[in-house]
């Protein structure tokens, strides 16, 4: 029985300790929240002063009150200020943005970030990288560049994004060496980063298209279509024979954007060999790249059982030439399910 | 329904409603445009913006697209639907890489867009253009 | 030693052993979840989800919201779904043969017309009466389907057939979503490079007592009434500790039917929702996992600990009892349909850990608790065991239960801290103290009744599915 009594006592003690912890934590948070508003306000005034500062020859420094200067040694204030600076920098460009960077450097906030860059804890390191990137701190290139192949995925992703943020297309050279797969999410982020820059005839895509890292090939294909690199057309058509299904799919999407008048023939040739998913992609691509001559072949493709694919094929025919629909209607099975309903839907879409 | 105070030949002021959920950004835009002499009404989310539009009938609306409760797109649609004698023009603020959304905004009836990050001075210039158009 | 005392001893030890295993598992789950929550929160602190809302590369999502006699609030609810920031989205409202004027109201409010739409019947369903779209450009994401009544599973299957995107998000139409809920739910599908993410689940929180305006959550409050507050605690415990730990093990079996995302291709290949069970949400996840295991393809069922979706909880014992009764039946039915996996090494973690855990500690727990308690009371009444021992055992289990609940509240305070007033936290602690005496016995009893009902109605499946959506109608405050 003593076992029970000891165990019960233990549970009760732990419960009380946890309740105590809860209330201490709650109190700390309340105190911090109370101060937060005041500190944030101070930080915001400082930042707004920087934004509206008229740059002249003699005044390079942003005026800082003695009180604010004193506050800078307060960790809490510094972290709020950094946070606010980052969010302002994300929204503002031009001379005002340069002022924000100057303020950041003037207050030595970069020094603190660099210190955190050396941290062993991944989230601190990743956040420091992100901060340096947003604040345009190019002096720490080497450290950040080395992290583009870090074994922690978040550190790696932030480093890659930051390099691209700071160096534009030039920064993409980490793709030459990256050995980890680049997730779809990360690709979206990288492309978004690049979309801020003026298109540039950057080099390297040929190399990336031959990478042994599948995700690098996929990313390179996205670059080709976003930046209309028509000169790589032949290489892309070769990738339609790649053993990896995803790469073939991306190649189809890419050809849709850089097509010539031969493209529809190339895609139709590949159609019988492809997986269902890629067949759907080919049919969708033909909406843009197909010609009247392709309609008879497309009608032949209707002789399969997948209804979704059937609908896509009819839609593509209608998009290439609405007259094509009459040919579909002349088919013997056009009065039966599912083709009758598909035709109805597509007709409705044309109006 | 437009009320202007003409300061000089090409310098006109308007009543502008700014809807933006980032507090610092809202305040920054407000200060920048006030410097140009405009009267500013600020709203910190979409719902707030809609009710203030009804209340104050501004001459121009500047709205972020992604806001809590009611998005900028809905504000655009609202202005297009509820036009009285003349539609209130709207400038939308979008994040980077949001071409599709900007396209959507134009289709719903937006008049101009600015991509973040942008410079406050650029916004000021665009607003002046609207003021000039409206005064004619 | 008489045979009675041997029997009593055996019973005692079996019951004790079961309790100890259960308590140890809870300790493990509690501690194991901490690391995962921490990692998620760190990651969250520098992720900008907005990037996904408008990216051309973002995955296509269809929201499937079945509605049955929701006329009172349907317009507001749909409006709030349409205000979600996500570009590559379609919102499919499935009117499951409502007897009220839901459809007429929707047609009028959203300027709908009946369009010719080919319904690709990948999953067999009750007939579709019509597919409606809006004439207004700003509602172009909206599709309303009118169908013959067939229950929630059937309605969701119609949604799957209509959907033209790659991912489906199933929600209860009266749920209130957080602004970035969809973005957070979609992200895991893009994150994994070596394993396929087949489903993502979100956290459900209780909306009773919260301030809601125009279908949007304006202020979070702790429910004032007794039952919803009990459930608030229960949900915090289940989502923050239980599911987080299971998701870390990649052994999650349940994604709440109120808010979850699925890879449509896999869902269709598995045959969609099964309308033969009242636990269609759990059953689908189990079937999808089983499908992937059998194909030997690497996969993940992901889970997001952020509170994403707020729902009205049953506020009366009658409705709550019905809900728990149904949950119990759903669990049993699901376990029975997939019994081949029980301790089957072919299904790896799923067969060796997840399934047995559900069998022993989700399905059997109320039964063992009920039987054990009854036995002890009877034995004690006959003087075969002493009351002191009985109360010690009871106190042990209760004090542990309370400690576990307090731990969950502590985790909530340390992480999301949504009920941040001292008074609210005190109320939650009070709730934790009361739960074992009032709420818990009721839940156990409801689930025992579910077992009995299932046993009695075993041969009349059809009766249950024709009651419309399986969620009992919740009062809207």
- What domains lie within chain B, and their CATH numbers? 6-135 (3.40.50.2300)
Q: Mark yes or no for CB contact B100/C138 under 8 Å.
A: no
CB pairs under 8 A between A and B: 56
C300 touches chain A (CB under 8 A): no
In the 8-state DSSP scheme, what is residue C122? S
The confidence score (pLDDT) of residue C72 equals 86
Q: Mark yes or no for CB contact A181/C396 under 8 Å.
A: no
Is the pLDDT reported for residue C471 higher than 50?
no
Q: Which of B71, B94, B108 shows the shortest C-beta gap to C137?
A: B108
Do the beta carbons of residue A320 and residue A285 sit within 8 Å?
no
**How many other CB atoms are found less than 10 A from the CB of residue C226?**
14
Q: Which of C193, C393, C425 shows the shortest C-beta gap to A22?
A: C425
Q: Which residues of A touch C423 (CB under 8 A)?
A: none
Mean pLDDT per 10-residue run, chain B (136 residues)?
Answer: 47 88 90 91 92 92 88 90 84 80 89 90 90 77
The confidence score (pLDDT) of residue C73 equals 87
Do the beta carbons of residue C224 and residue C419 sit within 8 Å?
no
Q: Does an H or E element contain C79, and which?
A: helix C74-82
Q: Looking at CA atoms only, how far is residue B108 from chain C in angstroms? A: 7
Measured CA to CA, the distance from residue C320 to residue C266 in angstroms comes to 33
Do the beta carbons of residue C89 and residue C122 sit within 8 Å?
no
List the chains bordering chain C where 3 or more Cβ pairs fall under 8 Å. A, B
Do the beta carbons of residue C36 and residue C245 sit within 8 Å?
yes
Measured CA to CA, the distance from residue C223 to residue C228 in angstroms comes to 6
Give the mean pLDDT of C336-355. Answer: 94
Is the pLDDT reported for residue C470 higher than 70?
no
Q: Mark yes or no for CB contact C51/B107 under 8 Å.
A: no
Is the pLDDT reported for residue C136 higher than 60?
yes
CA angle, A57 as apex, A53 and A61 as ends, to 5°? 50
Q: Mark yes or no for CB contact C392/A29 under 8 Å.
A: no
Q: Which residues of B touch A96 (CB under 8 A)?
A: 119-121
pLDDT single digits (tens) C69-92: 998 889 989 988 998 888 899 999
Arithmetic mean of pLDDT over chain C: 90
Is the pLDDT reported for residue C474 higher than 50?
no
The confidence score (pLDDT) of residue C43 equals 92
Do the beta carbons of residue A218 and residue A247 sit within 8 Å?
yes
Q: Which of C51, C56, C179 shows the shortest C-beta gap to B100?
A: C56
pLDDT single digits (tens) C139-150: 999 999 999 999
pLDDT single digits (tens) A318-330: 999 999 999 999 9
Arithmetic mean of pLDDT over chain A: 92
A95 touches chain B (CB under 8 A): yes
Q: Which residues numbered 40-99 in C keep a CB inside 8 Å of some CB on A?
A: 42-43, 45-46, 51-52, 55, 57-58
Give the mean pLDDT of A7-12. Answer: 95
Q: What ipTM does this complex have?
A: 0.90
Q: Mark yes or no for CB contact A94/B27 under 8 Å.
A: no
Q: Looking at CA atoms only, how far is residue C164 from chain B in angstroms? A: 19
Is the pLDDT reported for residue C158 higher than 80?
yes
Q: Looking at A79-83, B84-88, C117-121, C458-462, which range is the least confident one? A: C458-462
- Counting Cα atoms < 13 Å in the Cβ hemisphere of C203 gives 26
Strand-pair partners of C168: C62, C262
Highest-confidence segment of A59-68, B12-21, C286-295:
C286-295
> What does each C-alpha distance from C253 to A206, C23, C290, C300 come to in angstroms?
45, 20, 11, 11
Q: Which residues of C touch A26 (CB under 8 A)?
A: 413, 417, 420, 422, 425
Measured CA to CA, the distance from residue A226 to residue A257 in angstroms comes to 8
Give me the DSSP letters along B59-115: SEEEEESS-SSS-HHHHHHHHHHT--SSPPPEEEEE-TT-HHHHHHHHHHT--EEEE
Kindly state the tokens that stand for C46.
């520098």
B103 touches chain A (CB under 8 A): no
The chain B residue lying nearest C79, using CA atoms, is B70
CB pairs under 8 A between A and C: 113
Measured CA to CA, the distance from residue C392 to residue A1 in angstroms comes to 8
Q: Mark yes or no for CB contact C46/A29 under 8 Å.
A: no
The confidence score (pLDDT) of residue B1 equals 43
The confidence score (pLDDT) of residue C468 equals 37
Q: Looking at CA atoms only, how far is residue A321 from chain C in angstroms? A: 20
| Tokens 């890292």 -> residue | A213
pLDDT single digits (tens) C26-36: 999 999 999 99
Which of C113, C118, C394 has the highest number of chain A CBs within 10 A, making it the mutation to test binding with A?
A: C118
What is the torsion angle, in degrees rounded to the nearest 10, for the CA atoms of residue C437, residue C438, residue C443 and residue C445? 80
The confidence score (pLDDT) of residue C246 equals 94
The confidence score (pLDDT) of residue C473 equals 36
Q: Which residues of C touch A342 (CB under 8 A)?
A: 118
The chain B residue lying nearest C49, using CA atoms, is B66
A343 touches chain B (CB under 8 A): no
Do the beta carbons of residue B19 and residue B53 sit within 8 Å?
no
Is the pLDDT reported for residue C249 higher than 50?
yes
Q: Which residues of A touch B35 (CB under 8 A)?
A: 52
The chain C residue lying nearest A347, using CA atoms, is C116
The confidence score (pLDDT) of residue A49 equals 87
The confidence score (pLDDT) of residue C467 equals 36
Measured CA to CA, the distance from residue C377 to residue C399 in angstroms comes to 20
Q: Does an H or E element contain C62, and which?
A: strand C61-67
> What does each C-alpha distance from C47 to A25, A135, B24 come to in angstroms?
25, 17, 20
* Percent of chain C topping pLDDT 70: 96
The chain C residue lying nearest B69, using CA atoms, is C216
Q: Mark yes or no for CB contact B22/A89 under 8 Å.
A: no
The chain A residue lying nearest C131, using CA atoms, is A345
Q: What residues contact residue C408 under an 8 Å CB cut-off, 6+ apart?
A: C30, C233, C236, C237, C240, C241
List the chains bordering chain B where 3 or more Cβ pairs fall under 8 Å. A, C
A44 touches chain B (CB under 8 A): yes
| Tokens 């979609």 -> residue | C186
The confidence score (pLDDT) of residue C469 equals 38
The chain B residue lying nearest A47, using CA atoms, is B24
pLDDT band at A39 (very low <50, low <70, confident <90, very high): very high
Do the beta carbons of residue C178 and residue C306 sit within 8 Å?
yes
Is the pLDDT reported for residue A190 higher than 60?
yes
pLDDT single digits (tens) A203-253: 999 999 999 999 999 999 999 999 999 999 999 999 999 999 999 999 999
C390 touches chain A (CB under 8 A): no
SS3 A215: helix
Q: Looking at CA atoms only, how far is residue B115 from chain A in angstroms? A: 9
Kindly state the tokens that stand for C330.
């759903």
Kindly state the tokens that stand for B13.
């002021």
pLDDT single digits (tens) C213-231: 877 888 899 999 999 999 9
Q: Mark yes or no for CB contact C137/B70 under 8 Å.
A: no
Is the pLDDT reported for residue C268 higher than 90?
yes
Measured CA to CA, the distance from residue C226 to residue C206 in angstroms comes to 13
Q: Which residues of C touch B51 (CB under 8 A)?
A: none
* Of A245, A235, A247, A169, the residue nearest A203 (C-alpha): A169
The confidence score (pLDDT) of residue C458 equals 56
The confidence score (pLDDT) of residue C465 equals 37
Q: Looking at CA atoms only, how far is residue A139 from chain C in angstroms? A: 22
Ramachandran region, residue B34 (left: φ > 0; alpha: ψ -120 to 50; beta: rest):
alpha
The b/e string for A102-127 (b: 16+ C-beta within 10 A; e otherwise) is bbbeebebbebbbebbeeeebbbbbb
Q: Which residues numbered 66-85 in B keep a CB inside 8 Å of some CB on C?
A: 66, 68-71, 73-74, 77
Q: Looking at CA atoms only, how far is residue A243 from chain B in angstroms? A: 32
Q: Which of C118, C413, C422 shows the shortest C-beta gap to A338?
A: C118
The confidence score (pLDDT) of residue C225 equals 92
Measured CA to CA, the distance from residue A71 to residue B122 in angstroms comes to 33
The model's pTM is 0.91
The chain B residue lying nearest A44, using CA atoms, is B24
* Percent of chain A topping pLDDT 70: 98
Q: Looking at CA atoms only, how far is residue B82 from chain C in angstroms? A: 14
Give me the DSSP letters along C316-377: SHHHHHHHHHHHHHHHHHHHHHTGGGTT-GGGHHIIIIIHHHIIIIIIHHHHHHHHHHHHHH
CA angle, A188 as apex, A186 and A193 as ends, to 5°? 95
Q: Looking at CA atoms only, how far is residue B23 from chain A in angstroms? A: 9
Q: Which residues of C touch B77 (CB under 8 A)?
A: 138
pLDDT band at C464 (very low <50, low <70, confident <90, very high): very low
Q: Which of B24, B97, B118 shows the shortest C-beta gap to A47?
A: B24
Measured CA to CA, the distance from residue C225 to residue C212 in angstroms comes to 17
What is the torsion angle, in degrees rounded to the nearest 10, for the CA atoms of residue A265, residue A267, residue A272 and residue A276? -150
* Of C61, C461, C439, the residue nearest C279 (C-alpha): C461
Q: Which residues numbered 28-57 in B keep a CB inside 8 Å of some CB on A?
A: 28, 31-32, 35
The separation between CA C476 and the C-alpha centre of its own chain, rounded to angstroms, equals 19
Kindly state the tokens that stand for A228.
């209309």
CB pairs under 8 A between B and C: 38
Q: Mark yes or no for CB contact A18/C192 under 8 Å.
A: no
* Of A207, A279, A205, A202, the residue nearest A240 (C-alpha): A279
| Tokens 């506020």 -> residue | C315
Q: Mark yes or no for CB contact B69/C137 under 8 Å.
A: no
* Of C373, C286, C362, the residue nearest C327 (C-alpha): C362
Measured CA to CA, the distance from residue C256 to residue C244 in angstroms comes to 13
Measured CA to CA, the distance from residue A48 to residue A36 in angstroms comes to 18
């Amino acid at each position: 029985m003593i076992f029970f009594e000891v165990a019960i006592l233990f549970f009760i003690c732990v419960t009380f300790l946890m309740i105590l912890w809860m209330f201490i934590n709650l109190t700390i948070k309340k105190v911090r929240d109370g101060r937060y508003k005041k500190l944030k306000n101070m930080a915001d005034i400082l930042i707004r002063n920087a934004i509206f500062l008229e740059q002249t020859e003699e005044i390079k420094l942003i005026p800082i009150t003695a009180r604010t200067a004193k506050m800078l040694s307060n960790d809490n204030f510094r972290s709020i200020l950094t946070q606010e600076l980052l969010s302002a920098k994300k929204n503002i460009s031009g001379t005002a943005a340069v002022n924000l960077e100057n303020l950041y450097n003037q207050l030595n906030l970069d020094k603190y970030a660099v210190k955190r860059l050396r941290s062993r804890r991944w989230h601190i390191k990743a956040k420091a990288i992100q901060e340096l990137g947003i604040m345009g701190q190019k002096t720490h290139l080497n450290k950040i560049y080395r992290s583009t192949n870090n074994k922690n995925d978040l550190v790696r992703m932030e480093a890659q994004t930051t390099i691209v943020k700071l160096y534009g297309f030039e920064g993409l050279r980490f793709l030459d060496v990256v050995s980890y797969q680049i997730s779809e999410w990360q690709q979206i982020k990288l492309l978004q980063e690049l979309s801020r820059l003026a298109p540039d005839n950057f080099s390297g895509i040929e190399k990336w298209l031959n990478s042994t890292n599948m995700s690098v090939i996929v990313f390179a294909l996205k670059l080709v279509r976003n930046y209309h690199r028509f000169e790589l057309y032949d290489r892309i058509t070769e990738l339609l024979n790649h053993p990896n299904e995803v790469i073939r799919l991306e190649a189809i999407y890419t050809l849709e954007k850089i097509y010539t008048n031969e493209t529809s023939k190339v895609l139709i040739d590949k159609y019988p060999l492809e997986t269902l998913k890629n067949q759907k992609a080919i049919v969708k691509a033909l909406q843009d790249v197909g010609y009247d001559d392709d309609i008879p072949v497309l009608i032949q493709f209707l002789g399969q059982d997948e209804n979704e694919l059937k609908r896509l094929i009819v839609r593509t025919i209608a998009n290439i030439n609405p007259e094509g629909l009459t040919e579909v209607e002349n088919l013997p099975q056009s009065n039966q399910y599912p083709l009758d309903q598909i035709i109805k839907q597509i007709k409705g879409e044309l109006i | 329904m437009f009320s202007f105070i003409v300061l000089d030949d090409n310098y006109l002021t308007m009543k502008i409603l700014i809807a933006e959920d980032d507090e610092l950004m809202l305040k920054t835009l407000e200060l920048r445009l006030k410097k140009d002499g405009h009267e500013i009404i600020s709203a910190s989310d979409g719902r707030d913006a809609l009710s203030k539009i009804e209340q104050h009938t501004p001459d121009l609306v500047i709205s972020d697209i992604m806001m809590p409760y009611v998005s900028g797109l809905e504000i655009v649609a609202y202005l297009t639907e509820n036009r009285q004698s003349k539609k209130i023009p709207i400038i939308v603020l979008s994040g980077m890489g949001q071409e599709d959304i900007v396209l959507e905004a134009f289709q719903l009836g937006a008049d101009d867009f600015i991509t973040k990050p942008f410079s406050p001075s650029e916004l000021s210039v665009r607003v002046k253009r609207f003021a000039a158009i409206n005064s004619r | 030693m008489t045979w009675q005392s041997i029997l009593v001893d055996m019973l005692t030890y079996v019951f004790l052993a079961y309790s100890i295993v259960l308590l140890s598992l809870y300790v493990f789950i509690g501690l194991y979840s901490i690391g995962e929550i921490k990692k998620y929160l760190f990651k969250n602190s520098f992720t900008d989800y907005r990037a996904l809302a408008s990216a051309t590369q973002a995955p296509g999502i269809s929201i499937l919201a079945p509605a049955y006699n929701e006329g009172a609030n349907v317009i507001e609810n749909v409006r709030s779904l349409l205000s979600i920031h996500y570009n590559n989205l379609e919102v499919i409202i499935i009117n499951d043969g409502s007897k009220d004027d839901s459809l007429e109201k929707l047609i009028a409010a959203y300027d709908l017309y009946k369009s010719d739409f080919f319904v690709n019947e990948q999953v067999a369903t009750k007939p579709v009466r019509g597919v409606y779209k809006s004439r207004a450009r700003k509602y172009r994401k909206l599709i309303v389907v009118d169908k013959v009544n067939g229950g929630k599973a059937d309605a969701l299957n119609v949604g799957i057939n209509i959907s033209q995107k790659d991912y489906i998000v199933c929600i209860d139409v009266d749920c209130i979503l957080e602004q970035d809920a969809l973005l957070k739910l979609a992200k895991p599908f893009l994150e994994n490079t070596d394993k396929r993410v087949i489903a993502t689940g979100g956290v459900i929180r209780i909306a009773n007592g919260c301030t809601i305006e125009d279908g949007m959550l304006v202020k979070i409050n702790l429910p004032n009434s007794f039952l919803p507050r009990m459930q608030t605690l229960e949900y915090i415990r289940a989502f923050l500790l239980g599911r987080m730990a299971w998701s870390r093990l990649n052994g999650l079996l349940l994604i709440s039917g109120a808010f979850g995302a699925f890879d449509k291709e896999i869902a269709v290949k598995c045959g969609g929702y099964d309308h033969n069970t009242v636990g269609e949400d759990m059953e689908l996840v189990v079937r999808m996992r089983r499908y992937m295991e059998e194909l030997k393809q690497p996969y993940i069922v992901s889970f997001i600990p952020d509170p994403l979706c707020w729902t009205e909880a049953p506020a009366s014992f009658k409705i709550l009892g019905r809900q728990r009764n149904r949950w119990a039946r759903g669990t049993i039915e699901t376990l029975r349909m997939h019994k081949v996996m029980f301790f089957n090494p072919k299904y790896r973690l799923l067969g060796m850990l997840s399934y047995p855990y559900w069998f022993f500690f989700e399905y059997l727990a109320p039964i063992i608790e009920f039987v054990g308690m009854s036995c002890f009371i009877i034995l004690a009444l006959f003087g075969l065991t002493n009351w002191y021992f009985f109360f010690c055992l009871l106190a042990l289990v209760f004090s542990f239960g309370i400690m576990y609940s307090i731990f969950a509240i502590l985790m909530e305070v340390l992480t999301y801290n949504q009920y941040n007033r001292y008074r609210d936290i005190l109320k939650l602690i009070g709730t934790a103290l009361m739960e074992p005496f009032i709420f818990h016995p009721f839940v156990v009893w409801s689930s025992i009744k579910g077992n009995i009902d299932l046993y009695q109605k075993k041969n009349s499946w059809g009766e249950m599915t024709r009651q419309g959506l399986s969620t009992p109608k919740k009062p809207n405050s």
